[in-house]
Amino acid sequence: MLKEYLTVKEIVGPLILLEGVEGAKYNELVEVEFPDGSVGLGNVLEVEEDLVLLQSFEATSGLDIARTKVRFTGRGLELPVSRDILGRVFDGLGRPIDNGPRIIPDKRLDINGNPINPYARDFPTDFIQTGISAIDGLNPLVRGQKLPIFSGAGLPHSRLAAQIARQAGVLGAEEEFAVIFAAMGITFEEADFFIQEFRSTAAIERAVLFINLADDPAIERIATPRMALTAAEYLAFDLDMHVLVILIDMTYYCEALREISAARKEVPGRRGYPGYLYTDLATIYERAGRIKEAKGSITQIPVLSMPDDDKTHPIPDLTGYITEGQIILSRDLHRRGIYPPIDVLPSLSRLKEKGIGPGKTREDHSPLSNQLFSAYARGKEAKELAVILGEAALSEEDRLFVQFSEAFEDRFIRQGEYEDRSIEETLTIGWELLRILPRSELKRVKEEHIKKYMKT
């Protein structure tokens, strides 16, 4: 029996204050019945005596104080799950929006989940081949990692994320895998791009989509990534699948969080974001990983747009402190027509050393990537110098490095959106590029590898 109240006292933005309530619980799910009869969802943010503060996941326009009804459900926000969620499209609160049948749940899971016991975790070590050289060769992704894409407005992060989702696979492994896609606050066109993308490649069969668009209620976004990750945990640890979760765009999620925080008049941290933003983001990102003795895994690729391409903005900053590296997109490369415009120097994969090398990719992978890194860094530095002092000021060697860095961008980083390079191909291109440089400058690769892999 649901308890129903008509005692709304205040409505402020997305917040509703209710009085005279008995037995309300913190974080309890509520149903809010609008005067026009439609029903939205919300949850309890705070209870004090008989006062209850709710956040409404629905926009509060149309609510009034006299006729709005609130029903307490006695449980938290849950996601009904079963194997049938594969291939389905849901809204940001986990309700089907693809005109398909209702999900007959195998079980209902609280979307907040529980933290994985650090002792139960297994370290991510399996290399995932994304078919993209700038990632596989230099900043490789491993199973169970959380590796965000830091992007900016107008950069092709959607295409890159879709390409990763399309091509990602583990070398020599035939295992069940799934892609979970959570859209938060992105436009219809962007979301439609992904849906068409999944449909055209039949990938939709093994995908689950949660869609909250830009014009959907902002507060709903707070639940969306948790819905997605709850589904991911079910598929990974109950059904033994390897799950790739794409969360796009985390910036809008954080803004929704800020909206609630501001409405509650909380003391703001940096740039108006709440002081608990780090903790809140961690409860999302830390839901990636592997568990000892479990067959499945969760790999996360959150995408966020850096306001004004600023890496020190609180959202990318706090994200970088939690995730295991970052892939940064460069406006400069994009302007020069290079796809994918991955800025490899500030990009980083913290788990790389554990995922590559003999038996995993190839023995020369790690030294080769170090050599490419340092040669590219040197080439770019020399290029900057040339801008100030003129080409003529460069030494013969530096000129070769400049030539290398240009070729590197053109042949290594640049690739087709549908080009799926094997790791062998990626490494081969790397070796070919090193031929531009004098042998004596190749200090980071071993002589035996040069003999074996560099075709002369």
Q: Does 170 bind other proteins (CB under 8 A)?
A: no
Binder among 1, 267, 387, 392 for other proteins (CB under 8 A): 267
- The partner residues of 186 in beta bridges, in order of sequence, read 213
Task: Give me the residue label for tokens 């994969």.
Answer: 349
Residues 394-433 binding other proteins (CB under 8 A) are none
Q: Does 211 bind other proteins (CB under 8 A)?
A: no
Residues 62-81 binding other proteins (CB under 8 A) are 76
DSSP letter for 126, please. P
Residues 23-42 binding other proteins (CB under 8 A) are 23-28
Q: Does 266 bind other proteins (CB under 8 A)?
A: yes
Could you tell me whether strands 169-170 and 78-81 are parallel, antiparallel, or unpaired per DSSP bridges?
A: unpaired
Q: Does 17 bind other proteins (CB under 8 A)?
A: no
Q: How far is the CB of 155 from other proteins (least distance, A)?
A: 21
- The partner residues of 298 in beta bridges, in order of sequence, read 243, 289
- In DSSP notation, 230-288 reads HHHHIIIIIS--EEEEEEE-HHHHHHHHHHHHHHTTPPB-GGG-BTTHHHHHHHHHTT-
Q: How far is the CB of 333 from other proteins (least distance, A)?
A: 17
Residues 303-332 binding other proteins (CB under 8 A) are 311-314, 317-318, 320-322, 324-326
List of residues 6+ apart from 304 with CB closer than 8 A: 148, 149, 150, 151, 249, 250, 251, 315, 316, 319
Q: Does 3 bind other proteins (CB under 8 A)?
A: no
Residue closer to other proteins (CB basis): 23 or 416? 23
Residue closer to other proteins (CB basis): 213 or 241? 241
Residue closer to other proteins (CB basis): 322 or 407? 322
Could you tell me whether strands 348-349 and 289-291 are parallel, antiparallel, or unpaired per DSSP bridges?
A: unpaired
Residue closer to other proteins (CB basis): 36 or 49? 49
Q: How far is the CB of 320 from other proteins (least distance, A)?
A: 4
Residue closer to other proteins (CB basis): 28 or 197? 28
- The partner residues of 29 in beta bridges, in order of sequence, read 43
Residues 335-394 binding other proteins (CB under 8 A) are 345-346, 348, 350-351, 353, 370, 373-374, 377, 389, 393
- Cα 186 to Cα 182, 246, 401, distances in angstroms: 10, 13, 41
List of residues 6+ apart from 285 with CB closer than 8 A: 146, 300, 302, 319, 322, 323
Q: How far is the CB of 371 from other proteins (least distance, A)?
A: 11
**What is the Cα–Cα distance from 196 to 17, expressed in whole angstroms?**
42
